[in-house]
Structure 1
Amino acid sequence: MFVHSETFIAAPNAVRQKDSLGCLSNHLDIDLELHTGEFTFYRKCRRHEQTSEVVTPASDRGFLIGVSLTAGHRRQIFSGNRSASHDFEKDSVYIRNFENDYRADLLGAFDFVLVEFSRAFIANLRYEQGGSAIAGFSSLPGRKDAIFGHLAQVLALTLDRGSKTSPVFVEQLGVAIGTHLIDKYGNALTQSNKKNRRLSSLHETRAKDMLLGKAQGSVSLEEIASACNLSRSYFIRAFRETMDRTPHQWLLERRIDQARELLKHSNSSLSDIAMACGFVDQSHFTRTFSQLVGTPPGTWRRQNTR
C-alpha cells in the first residue's frame, strides 16, 4: 500500500498528530510511505529551520535505518539522563532498534529516506545467508555510508513514482538494503547472550496469560513488563529470546490456532470468527491467516471439514 501526502506547517491551534515514527506530521513538507508487508519505506522531509522532538516507546516492530539525502541536519539523541549531538551530512546513516525507547530533538531542516524491517525479515535473510541470528545493529549516528547513499537516491525516486513502482523492484531494493545492513552493521547473537536474556518460567507463564488477555482487552506491553518487574525494552528482548518470536507474533499465532478450531468445529461466519479471535475485521483476519497458514481461511475450512 502506498501513502502519499504533501504536508505544510499547520497553524498554532492545529492538532499536532504524530506519525508512526514519532514525527509531527504537520511539520513535514514531504511525507511518503510505501508498505510491502516485510518492510516499509519512508521519505520524511522538512525544508524549514525548526526544532522538534521525536519520541517513540519501546515496541516489537523491528529495526529502522535512515539515510540523509542532504547535509546540514543535527540531531540530539537522549538515552536516560545522557544525550549526544550528531551532525548528518549527505549519505549519513542512523539505525534504530524499536525494542528501545527513543527520544531525540531534530534541529533544522532534513530530508531522509528510511526503511523499517520486521524482525522476521531480518531473521529469514540471515538464515538464507547461513549466518547466526542478529541481536541488533551498531553504527554511530551520522556515520557516512556511500552504498546506502546510492541506494537512498534510488529509493527516493522509487517513492516519487508511487503506485507506478514495480513490486518486484521494490522487493529487490528492500533485500539489497537489508543485506548491506546485516553484512556491515549486524551484531551476531551468541548462545550466552540468549541464555542471559531469557524469561523465567514464572514470567513466561505470566506474560502468556496477559497476552492472551490482551486479545480480549486493553493490556499493554508496558503493563505486562511491569507485572514481570522488567523494563518494557528488556521484556520484549527476553520474550523474543525465550519464544523465538516477538510478543505480537506469538499472539497472532495463538489467535490463528483459535480460529482454526472455530473454522473446523463451528458454523460461524468468517467475520464472526475474526471478531471472536481479536482481529480488527475479516480482511485483517484473512490476510494474517493466509500469511501464517499458507491458504485463506475459507479454503482451509473446506479442506479440513470434509
Structure 2
Amino acid sequence: MQHDDQRGRIMSNLNGISTGPSARKKDSLGCFSNQLHKDLELEAGDFTFYRKCRREEITSEVVTPASDRGFLIGVSLTNGHRRRIMRGGRSVMHDFEKDSIYVRNFEEDYRADLHGLFDFVLVEFSQAFIANIAYEQHGTTLSGFSTRRCEKDVIFGYLAQVLAFTLDRQHDASPLLIEQLGVTIGTHLVERYGGAPTQSVSPRRRLSSLHEARAKDMLLAKTPGSNSLDEIASSCNLSRSYFIRAFRETTRRTPHQWVLEQRIERARHLLRTSDSPLSEIAVACGFADQSHFTRTFSRLVGTSPGNWRRQGRGNQAVR
C-alpha cells in the first residue's frame, strides 16, 4: 500500500462554516459539511477514520439509507450533545457525555436530529474485517452488536483521544500506528459488544521463528510505498489482526513499537560513531524529518539526540 494512499483522503474545515454553492453538500455520514468546524477523514484499508466537530448551537438532520458498508462506531470527545434517533414510527432522545459511544449497522436505515455542539471520533469498519475478527476471536460469525445508546466506555474514550491527536497531526502519524489503532478499536468492539462467550476466545499464538524473522526483515525494510501490515501478515499466512497479536505475543512489542525501538537503536549507533548531522541521521533511520526524529528520540530515550551525543562524547573524554 502506498504511504500517501494509506494516509487517505483528508478533508478539513477548521476555520468556520463554509459558504457558496456547495454549502448544503452532505458528507458520507449524512452530515451537512458546511455546518462542521472540523471535518477530517482518513482511509486506511479496512478502516475509515473520521472526526466531526460542530461549535454551533443549531439542529440538523442526518439521514443515510441502508447499504453494505459495514459498521460504524462513534465516540464523543465532549459532554452536552443531544440526538433524537428515529426508527419506524418511534423516536428516542439520547444525551451524550464524554466517552459515550454509539454503534451503527449500515445495513439499517438511519435518521437522527443532531442538537447543539458535538465533537466525535468515528471509525467505519468493513463487513469483512468484522467477520474476520469475530471468527479469529470466537470461531463464530457476527451479525451485529449489543450496546446501549450513549453507553460510556473509558477504553474507547482513551483510544478516541489518541485517534483525534493522530488525525489532527496526520503528517507525523506512522502507517503502522494507524493500522494498529484500527485493529485495536475493532477488536475491543467485537470482544466487548459482539455477544460471543468469553470461553470461545482462541488461544494465544506466537510466530514461528521463520515467520518472526521474515516479519522483522520486512518491517525493517518498510519505507513509504513498501510493505504494509497486510502484506507482511499475508507472507506469514495470517490475517493482519491475528499477525499483530501474534507478533506482540512473540516480541512483547507491537510492530510499531518494535520498529521505533530498532530505529532508535540505529540512531544511537550513528550518533555514537559518526559526525553526520541530525537531519541525515533522521532520514537514514526512517523518520519523516529531523523534528519527528527528535520528538521520538526524546520521548523514548529521555533526552534529545544532540544532548545524548554530547553526553556520550563527554563520557569518552573522561575515560
Q: Which residue of 1 aligns with 2:151?
A: 143
Q: Which residue of 2 aligns with 1:80?
A: 88
Q: Distance in 1 between matches of 2:19 and 2:161?
A: 32
Deviation string for 1:238-259 (max 9, x for gaps)?
A: xxxxxxxxxxxxxxxxxxxxxx
1:105 paired to 2:135: no
**Paired residues of 1:2 and 1:163 also in contact (CA < 8 A):** no
Q: Which residue of 1 aligns with 2:11?
A: 4
Task: Report SS of the residue matched to 2:121.
Answer: strand
1:27 maps to which of 9, 24, 35: 35
1:38 paired to 2:49: no
Q: Which residue of 2 aligns with 1:244?
A: none
Residue 108 to residue 12, structure 1, CA distance change in 2 (3 Å): farther
**Paired residues of 1:67 and 1:148 also in contact (CA < 8 A):** yes
2:175 maps to which of 137, 156, 167: 167
Residue 13 to residue 129, structure 1, CA distance change in 2 (3 Å): closer
Deviation >6 Å, runs of 4+: none
- The one-letter amino acid paired with 1:93 is I
**Paired residues of 2:18 and 2:34 also in contact (CA < 8 A):** yes
Deviation string for 1:107-140 (max 9, x for gaps)?
A: 0000000000001111111222243111101212
Q: CA deviation at 1:58?
A: 0.1
Residue 152 to residue 42, structure 1, CA distance change in 2 (3 Å): same
Q: Distance in 1 between matches of 2:11 and 2:95?
A: 28
- The one-letter amino acid paired with 1:134 is L
1:66-215 aligned at under 5 Å gives the runs: 66-187=74-195
Deviation string for 1:138-181 (max 9, x for gaps)?
A: 21221110110000000000101123311111111111101110
Taking only aligned residues, the RMSD between alpha carbons, in angstroms, comes to 2.1
Q: Which moved more, 1:178-187 or 1:107-116?
A: 178-187
Q: Share of identical aligned residues, percent? A: 65
Q: Which moved more, 1:91-100 or 1:13-22?
A: 13-22
Q: Which residue of 2 aligns with 1:63?
A: 71
Residue 169 to residue 83, structure 1, CA distance change in 2 (3 Å): same
Instruction: Give the aligned length.
Output: 192
Task: Report SS of the residue matched to 1:135.
Answer: coil
2:62 maps to which of 43, 54, 58: 54
Return the index of the structure with the highest Cα Rg: 2
Q: Distance in 2 between matches of 1:73 and 1:160?
A: 22
Q: Distance in 2 between matches of 1:84 and 1:187?
A: 24
Q: Which residue of 2 aligns with 1:279?
A: none
TM norm structure 1? 0.60
Q: Distance in 2 between matches of 1:129 and 1:14?
A: 44
**Paired residues of 2:76 and 2:101 also in contact (CA < 8 A):** yes
Task: Report SS of the residue matched to 1:147.
Answer: helix
- The one-letter amino acid paired with 2:27 is D
- The one-letter amino acid paired with 1:4 is M
TM norm structure 2? 0.57
Listed as ranges, the gaps of 5+ residues in structure 1 are: 190-290, 295-306
- The one-letter amino acid paired with 1:5 is S
- The one-letter amino acid paired with 1:140 is R
Q: CA deviation at 1:12?
A: 8.5
